């Protein structure tokens, strides 16, 4: 059985997850990736804008499944890979006795904001329940995969890494947002933050956490940039905290969050952040 690892990516067209995927594709570790995308060409174009990514690299290391993150049948297609890591990639997710679950899942799904024309400080979002819905879909799809293949008896479960946000702490938890940002978070981002909070509740329930080897929730400060690797400041300039001692800051580049996901989660067998809510700020 091949030791090559395969990670599934959800919401990888842009931002933090795109950056993480780009690092994987550029690495020499032999990792493979499988991504779910409503518009595959959009994902390909976003990756080709990353420095160093070529069409041949994409063809060699990435399988793209066209589908929707709220469809259980589509989600199941990225959760299974051929046992030996080879074979017809278009058959991923099909009911083949040789397929096994992926080694990890990276999700950066979230509502996409846009400013309403002619309205000052008025922001609208494309889907205010997308994070909750995609998380529920992932849980349902993985349960079905286990049930169909008795996968859990083989002892292999994937790591799950998701991109959440600061600003959704409970009253009894330490704050992770600078005071100057609190009004803006409360006014402009309250609804999408509720969606992220529901996502966290879904994947951290005891019943659902048992589906994974480990869950890592990244909670970045206000995101900047488009995730292009050229905009990264580097891990050395990232401040990292946890629920107990959050890293409070104003901004962080999406490219830096992607690098953290790659270096500190995907590449590690037993990362120190397993089971943690990790705050990130520059």
| Model confidence at 181: pLDDT above 90 | no
**pLDDT class of 100 with cuts at 50, 70, 90:** confident
Quote the pLDDT of residue 95: 52
**pLDDT class of 188 with cuts at 50, 70, 90:** low
Q: Please provide the size of the chain in residues.
A: 282
Quote the pLDDT of residue 88: 39
Q: What percent of the chain stands above pLDDT 70?
A: 84
The reply to whether 81 falls in a domain is yes
Please give the average per-residue pLDDT across 239-255, as a whole number.
94
**269: Cβ contacts below 8 Å, ≥ 6 apart:** none
The reply to whether 186 falls in a domain is yes
Quote the pLDDT of residue 155: 62
The reply to whether 47 falls in a domain is yes
Q: What is the pLDDT of residues 54-75, one digit of tens each?
A: 999 999 999 999 999 999 999 9
Q: Helix H segments across 11-152?
A: 15-26, 40-48, 55-61, 72-76, 130-149
Residue 236: strand, helix, or coil: helix
The reply to whether 108 falls in a domain is yes
Direct distance between the N- and C-terminal alpha carbons of the chain, in angstroms, rounded to an integer: 41
| Model confidence at 191: pLDDT above 80 | no
The reply to whether 1 falls in a domain is no
Quote the pLDDT of residue 89: 40
Pseudo-torsion of CA 178, 124, 204, 165, nearest 10°?
-20
Quote the pLDDT of residue 230: 96
Between 98 and 77, whose confidence is greater? 77
Task: Give residue 248's Cα distance to chain centre.
Answer: 22
Kindly state the tokens that stand for 243. Answer: 């629920």
Burial of residue 152, with CB atoms counted within 10 A of its CB: 0-12 exposed, 13-18 middle, 19 or more buried: middle
**pLDDT class of 260 with cuts at 50, 70, 90:** very high
The reply to whether 67 falls in a domain is yes
Please give the average per-residue pLDDT across 8-30, as a whole number.
96
Domain that holds residue 219: 6-281
Please give the average per-residue pLDDT across 252-279, as a whole number.
93
Strand order in the sheet with 214-220: 62-66, 32-37, 6-10, 104-107, 159-163, 214-220, 277-281, 239-241
Quote the pLDDT of residue 269: 82
Quote the pLDDT of residue 128: 75
Between 29 and 190, whose confidence is greater? 29
149: nearest Cα among 104, 102, 100: 100
What is d(CA 76, CA 84) in angstroms, rounded to the nearest whole number?
19
**pLDDT class of 40 with cuts at 50, 70, 90:** very high
Q: What is the pLDDT of residues 111-168, one digit of tens each?
A: 555 455 555 455 555 567 899 999 999 999 999 999 887 655 456 899 999 999 998 8
The reply to whether 243 falls in a domain is yes
Residue 207 belongs to domain with CATH number:
3.40.50.720
Quote the pLDDT of residue 1: 37
Quote the pLDDT of residue 267: 93
Residue 216: strand, helix, or coil: strand
Average pLDDT, the chain: 87
Quote the pLDDT of residue 139: 98
The reply to whether 203 falls in a domain is yes
**244: Cβ contacts below 8 Å, ≥ 6 apart:** 174
Under 8 Å between Cβ of 74 and 57? no
Kindly state the tokens that stand for 55. Answer: 């069409």
- Domain count along the chain: 1
**pLDDT class of 220 with cuts at 50, 70, 90:** very high
């Amino acid at each position: 059985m091949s030791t090559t690892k395969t990670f599934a990516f959800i919401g990888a067209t842009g931002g933090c997850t795109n950056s993480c995927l780009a690092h994987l594709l550029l690495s020499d570790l032999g990792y493979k990736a499988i991504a779910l995308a409503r518009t595959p060409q959009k994902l390909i174009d976003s990756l080709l804008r990353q420095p160093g990514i070529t069409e041949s690299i994409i063809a060699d290391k990435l399988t793209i499944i066209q589908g929707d993150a709220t469809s259980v049948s589509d989600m199941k297609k990225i959760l299974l890979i051929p046992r030996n890591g080879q074979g017809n990639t278009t058959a991923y997710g099909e009911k083949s006795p040789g397929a096994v679950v992926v080694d990890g899942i990276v999700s950066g799904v979230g509502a996409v904001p846009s400013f309403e024309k002619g309205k000052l400080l008025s922001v609208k979002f494309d889907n205010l329940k997308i994070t909750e819905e995609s998380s529920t879909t992932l849980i349902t799809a993985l349960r079905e995969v286990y049930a169909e293949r008795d996968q859990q008896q083989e002892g292999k479960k994937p790591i799950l890494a998701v991109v959440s946000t600061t600003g959704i702490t409970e009253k009894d938890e330490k704050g992770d947002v600078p005071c100057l940002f609190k009004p803006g978070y409360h006014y402009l981002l309250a609804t999408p933050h509720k969606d992220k909070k529901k996502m966290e509740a879904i994947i951290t329930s005891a019943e659902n956490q048992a589906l994974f080897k480990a869950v890592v929730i990244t909670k970045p400060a206000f995101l900047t940039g488009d995730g292009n690797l050229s905009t990264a400041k580097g891990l050395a300039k990232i401040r990292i905290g946890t629920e107990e001692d959050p890293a409070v800051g104003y901004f962080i580049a999406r490219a830096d969050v992607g690098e953290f996901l790659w270096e500190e989660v995907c590449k590690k067998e037993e990362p120190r952040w397993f089971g943690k809510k990790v705050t990130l700020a520059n």
